[in-house]
Structure 1
Amino acid sequence: MHARKAELERQFEAGRAQFDQAQEKIKARTGRNLILAILIGVVFGGALLLSLLVLKELFMVFAVVVAAFASSELVQALRKGGIRVPIVPTVISAVAAVPAAYYLGAGGQLLAVLAGILLVTLWGLVAAAASVDARGSGRSLLLDVAAGAFVQGYVTFLATFAVVLTAADGGQWWTLAFIITAVAADTGAYAFGLMFGKHPMAPVISPKKTWEGFAGAAATSVLAGILLSTFMLQEPWWFGLVFGIAILASATVGDLVESLIKRDLGIKDMSSWLPGHGGFLDRLDSILPSAAVAFVAFSLFG
Structure 2
Amino acid sequence: MRLPEPGGDRPTEPRPSAKKGLRQDFDARARAARADFEAQLKQRKAELGARNEALTARTGRNLPAAIGIALAFAVVMLAALLIWKPAFMVVAAFLLGVGVYELASAMRFAGRDVPRIPSVAVSVAVVPAAFLGGQVAALFTLLGGIVFISLWRLVEVAVARDKPPVGHVVRDLTNGLFVQAYISLLGACVVLLSAQLRGQLWVIAFILVVVAVDTGAYATGLNLGKHPMAPRISPKKTWEGFAGSVAASIVVGIVVVVLLLGLPWWTGVLLGVLISGSATLGDLTESMIKRDLGIKDISSFLPGHGGLLDRIDSILPSAAVAYVMYLIVVH
- Residue of structure 1 aligned with 2:77, choices 30, 35, 48: 48
2:302 maps to what in 1?
274
- Residue of structure 2 aligned with 1:147, choices 175, 198, 210: 175
Matched residue SS, 1:201: strand
Q: For residues 295 and 228 of structure 1, what CA distance do their matches in structure 2 show?
A: 16
1:286 maps to what in 2?
314
Matched residue SS, 2:300: coil
Amino acid across the alignment from 1:27 = T
Matched residue SS, 2:112: coil
Alignment of 1:118-157 (within 5 A): 118-135=147-164, 137-157=165-185
2:12 maps to what in 1?
none
Q: Deviations 1:184-224 (Å, cap 9, x if unpaired)?
A: 10121122222222221100111111112112211111111
1:164 maps to what in 2?
192
2:267 maps to what in 1?
239
Alignment of 1:202-281 (within 5 A): 202-281=230-309
Alignment of 1:12-27 (within 5 A): 15-27=44-56
2:18 maps to what in 1?
none
Matched residue SS, 2:301: coil
Matched residue SS, 2:262: coil
Deviates more, 1:240-249 or 1:8-17: 8-17
1:299 maps to what in 2?
327
Q: Deviations 1:219-248 (Å, cap 9, x if unpaired)?
A: 111111111011001111101000100001
Amino acid across the alignment from 1:234 = G
2:100 pairs with 1:59: no
Quote how far apart the aligned CAs of 1:278 are: 1.1
- Residue of structure 2 aligned with 1:32, choices 23, 38, 61: 61
Q: Which runs of 5+ in 1 are unaligned?
A: none
Matched residue SS, 2:237: strand
Task: Decide whether the 8 Å contact of 1:78 with 1:85 is kept in 2.
Answer: yes
Quote how far apart the aligned CAs of 1:18 are: 3.4
- Residue of structure 2 aligned with 1:201, choices 221, 229, 237: 229
Runs of 4+ in structure 1 deviating by more than 6 angstroms, as ranges, are: 1-11
TM-score (normalizing by structure 1)? 0.94
Quote how far apart the aligned CAs of 1:252 are: 0.8
Greater relative contact order (Cα 8 A, min sep 6): structure 1 or 2?
A: 1
- Residue of structure 1 aligned with 2:99, choices 54, 61, 70: 70
Matched residue SS, 1:209: strand
Q: For residues 119 and 236 of structure 2, what CA distance do their matches in structure 1 show?
A: 32
Quote how far apart the aligned CAs of 1:8 are: 7.2
Quote how far apart the aligned CAs of 1:140 are: 1.1
Q: For residues 304 and 219 of structure 2, what CA distance do their matches in structure 1 show?
A: 16
Matched residue SS, 1:207: strand
Quote how far apart the aligned CAs of 1:10 are: 7.2
2:122 pairs with 1:110: no
Amino acid across the alignment from 2:110 = G
Identity %: 49
Q: For residues 31 and 259 of structure 1, what CA distance do their matches in structure 2 show?
A: 12
2:119 maps to what in 1?
90
Quote how far apart the aligned CAs of 1:9 are: 6.9
Q: For residues 103 and 147 of structure 1, what CA distance do their matches in structure 2 show?
A: 28
Answer with 1 or 2: which has the greater Rg.
2
Matched residue SS, 1:208: strand
Q: 1:17 to 1:117 in 2, by over 3 A?
A: same
Q: 1:130 to 1:9 in 2, by over 3 A?
A: closer
Q: For residues 211 and 164 of structure 1, what CA distance do their matches in structure 2 show?
A: 33
2:203 pairs with 1:175: yes
Quote how far apart the aligned CAs of 1:276 are: 4.6
TM-score (normalizing by structure 2)? 0.86
Quote how far apart the aligned CAs of 1:286 are: 0.7
Q: 1:275 to 1:197 in 2, by over 3 A?
A: farther
Over aligned residue pairs, what C-alpha RMSD do you find?
A: 1.9
